[in-house]
Every structure is written in structure tokens, then in C-alpha cells.
Amino acid sequence: MKKLILALAIITCTGNAFAQEQMETLAKPKSGNKIRVGGYGAPTVHFTPFADKFAVMTGGNAGVMLNSKIMLGAGAYALVNDIEAPRTNIDDPTRYWNMWYTGFVAEYTFNSNKLLHWGAGALIGGGMVGKNTRWKPDTENHTWVDESSFFAAEPYANLEINIAKFLRVGVGASYRFIRGSNTPGISDGDMSGPAAHVTIKAGRF
């Protein structure tokens, strides 16, 4: 009888020990280590030199934000003001530079819950440059000429302020690296350069 009671006690203690130990899985991390998933969109305006002229590029980033720190997503920017391209022949019509680039974006935000905080990230991808005539409503021919593709990388840093739980405004700086284009009249160096930017982030942080 004593042996039976001892055996039952050992089985009970062993069962309690297993019951208290929770299994860790990818689908349900250990309590206290749950990943907070959010996301945001960030329309952005860049002010930058381009072919020795002042340029404005608009676009932005969007992606998933993990633990209010790490953002993984995509970004894209395009030249929006008219910068005249040099003529290859004297009889050529006046054409203007067209340029865009896009890519994968990763960003890390430090002290995201503080009123004033900062972050750093980078865009890595590619784009295209070419020439085109100025757009007119009554003209159907807006074909790019002398277009070529290129590799683009742009590290950046932001200083941000929390306006509301879902809204942030920031300013920052970046440097655009362009490599691999072969369009006549412009070089990789002409398209590379520093930029200052203004951004608005809206989403779940």
C-alpha cells in the first residue's frame, strides 16, 4: 500500500512539472516576448542636386513595423520638376530628364515611444533614367529616349516627433548612390548626391 501511494505521488508531481512548463513554438512565442506588429506609410519629399541643378523628388516608404522598432518594406521616388537635358543634335526638340528608382527598405527607430526620436535606414534597388518632351494634353507622343537602368542605394537618417499615436512628422538627410547607367548626357555622378527630406508617417507604430 505504501508503495502504491508513493508511486501515485511521484506520478502526480511529474505531471504538475510538465503542466507548468509551456511549449515554445513559432506560432505562439513565450509570454512576454510577443512580437508587436504594426505598419505605416510615409509620403516623402526630397530636395537634392541632380545634373548640377536643383531637383525635387517625391515618393515615400511603406511597410510592416515590428516591436515599434524595425520596419521592413519598400520605397520609390521620382523626379518631378523640369530639368532640361542637353541636346544630342542641334535640331532635336527640347527634352527633360525623367528619373525614378525603387527598392527594398529597412529602417530602425530608436526610442520610438519618446516624443522626439530618431531612426536610420536604407533603400536598395534600382531605377531608370531617360529623356522626354514636356507633357501636353494634346500630344500623344511621350516616349522616353536614351533610357537606361541603374542600381540605386540610399542610406538615410530621420529626426521625428510624435504628433499623435498614429501620426509622426520628420526631417532628415540621405545620400543617393547611382551606378550602372549609360544614358548620353548624364553620368552616375550627376544623379548621385545628398538630399534633405520632409516626411509624414501615418499608421500603427
Q: What residues does each domain of the chain span?
A: 38-204
User: What average pLDDT does this structure show over 134-162?
Assistant: 84
Cell matching residue 24: 515554445
* 26 pLDDT above the threshold of 70: no
The Cα–Cα gap between 140 and 133 comes to 11
For cell 541603374, name the residue: 150
Instruction: Report residue 19's pLDDT band, with 50, 70 and 90 as the boundaries.
Output: very low
134's CB contacts (< 8 A; 6+ apart) are 82, 94, 96
Could you list the beta-strand ranges (E) of the chain: 37-50, 53-66, 70-79, 96-110, 116-132, 145-164, 167-179, 193-204
User: What is the reported pLDDT for 34?
Assistant: 85
Closest CA to 205 of 113, 120, 105: 113
User: What is the reported pLDDT for 120?
Assistant: 98
167's CB contacts (< 8 A; 6+ apart) are 200, 201, 202
* 1 pLDDT above the threshold of 90: no
pTM greater than the 0.85 cutoff: no
Largest CA distance in the chain: 111
* 97 pLDDT above the threshold of 70: yes
Cell matching residue 181: 547607367
User: What average pLDDT does this structure show over 49-58?
Assistant: 97
Query: CATH for 38-204, among 1.10.1660.10, 2.40.160.20, 3.40.50.300, 3.40.50.970?
Result: 2.40.160.20
152 has which bridge partners?
Answer: 125, 178
